[in-house]
Structure 1
Amino acid sequence: LHLNVFISISLKQQNRAALEAFEASVCARDEVMECYLMTGDADYLLRVAVADMAALERFILEQLSPIAQVEKIRSSFALKQVRYKTALPLGAGA
């Protein structure tokens, strides 16, 4: 998949029921590679992998926008992956 997109989501409410309902909705989507509950301006940060802009548009309009808890959707595109690793820095700072 050629398009890596980071999507910030703000919810209408931040109560437990709203958070759980939103999380269940996004976890059911194969396009969502990562989902984080955040502090700051947005409630959630998603990393989504899609084939192209048309697929991203479909995902936002058909999957994210209809979720009742969603108030605001903001997306950013990765231009280049500068670093990606999975090894934890165990022993760093010892």
Structure 2
Amino acid sequence: MTRLQLDKTDIQILKLLQAQGRMANQDLAASVGLSPSPCSRRVKAMEEAGIIAGYAALVDAPYFQLTLTAYVQVRLEKHTQAILDAFEQAIDGYDEVLECALLTGSDADYQLKVLVRDMDAFKHFLLEKLTSNPHIAGIRSSFVLKQVKSRTAIPLPELGTQDDKA
């Protein structure tokens, strides 16, 4: 994969696309002070380099009555590669799991972000799916009372700072 040298205009393009992924190229170009063709070439180069990983629609979960978010910490009985791989493969098949992270510095091995309709749906997920894994030694669940901050955009460096040297 080619590593591109990004300039301030590229960073502006990325910030705008993170905020408005469906922005028309002509509007994007005008917003960053380019004509449409060079702007389109920059976006294509960033897509080809893997800097822009893809585009997605952000769907309103409450519209589909998905209103219960839980963070579930999972502790496995053993830490062999085969057990870790099997757990991760099983988790990948559960649509309720939005995120799964392998942790360090915690009693848990994994943290899951789970989105379901209600407590009955969570109970079904927990008892019928998650706990069917024989290698789970413990589970701790916490429920979201209020979402304080949620975003999909990553923080991008301002060029001219130390952060952009990586």
Give the TM-score normalised by structure 1.
0.95
The 5 A counterparts of 1:18-29 are 18-29=83-94
In structure 2, what is the Cα distance between the partners aligned to 1:20 and 1:68? Answer: 14
Deviating beyond 3 angstroms after TM superposition, the runs of 4 or more aligned structure 1 residues are: none
TM-score using structure 2 length? 0.55
User: Does 1 or 2 have the higher relative contact order (CA < 8 Å, sep 6+)?
Assistant: 1
RMSD: 1.3
Listed as ranges, the matches of 1:70-89 within 5 Å are 70-89=136-155
Question: Considering only CA atoms, is the larger Rg found in Structure 1 or Structure 2?
Answer: 2
1:7 to 47, 63, 72: 72
Instruction: Give the alignment of 1:10-89 within 5 angstroms.
Output: 10-39=75-104, 40-89=106-155
In structure 1, runs of 5+ residues without a counterpart are: none
In structure 2, what residue type is equivalent to 1:75? S
Greater fraction helix: 2
How many residues get paired?
Answer: 94
- Identity of paired residues, percent? 46
Stretches of structure 2 lacking an aligned partner (at least 5 in a row):
1-65, 162-166
